[in-house]
Structure 1
């Protein structure tokens, strides 16, 4: 892809970009809501809202009930640890893209999922060796959409943000990339709708990961 011609570092989002984890996330959240005595939510509605991230989603569902939110989030983490591999799978082309890009580009992973959980999943899918840096939502003191994680990765790998591209499916990915002065690629078959991504104005849209090559 032409956008990669002057790029040394490719940063991938995880959920909704490399792995389709939506069903397991939705199932775990509804199980948590039910266990906490809350009304469960239609899976289709949850899928539309999950691009906000689990914490923001709980704010939307529960409001400012801090104790209840903490309880639900605790149950959610408990259920997700048990269910994370039930239906989660790699997106078509993900492995091939990583194999080919890793031969001539530096690759990193930047997600708002907890780092420990991310590393467990990367190991399960045998993807961890592709990434020189793996940054989770709890690795640094800021997470996407802040550009700070991208700056951190660039500094660690000695690559300028201008020679970096951020690939993701959400506004947080695109906003973080743009704020860091990196190029951005919006994956429209992830968790967000095309309309949501268009509002962020990524440099390029892709419908499949193979288009990156």
Structure 2
């Protein structure tokens, strides 16, 4: 299994990045020296660090570092295409699909916070192309979201039919993940017959967790 290395003299950065790597359940190792093991594909350091080592990423904060590292785990130095799916509503769902791998999916607490969250995503991942897909439902909130995020990346509106199936397990983040994959409308045959809220993402999508096992 490939691992992420952490080597920094910035205590706050180290504390934050280790906490977030554990939260993301990503394989990592804290390095005690500048010698990088062969199974470490990328090393995370703070922008404040004044040393350079092979396969190193220097970042402003832990989440930027983690997002910058993900392409090294699964795709080389960069993804070809990152798609951000948005399920419109007062608490928008947000999902990030990178080269058809679901990287993250979560619910934004409010529309007024969505621009900052998307900016962090856009400035974190390393990619050649990026696109935002927003579902065509909830027109009032959809228009508020588009107004809020206008100019940060190309945006298209897609037909979100079938993205809330089944209603008993529906959540905004799940719908956003489905929206990110839409070309015409979401293929509901992708939805597994048997699943739970706990395993729906693993059943329905190629996830980061499944790729780096």
The normalised TM-score by structure 1 is: 0.33
The normalised TM-score by structure 2 is: 0.33
Asked which structure has the greater CA Rg, the reply is: 2
Q: Which has the higher strand share?
A: 2
Q: Report which structure shows greater RCO (CA 8 Å, sep ≥6).
A: 1
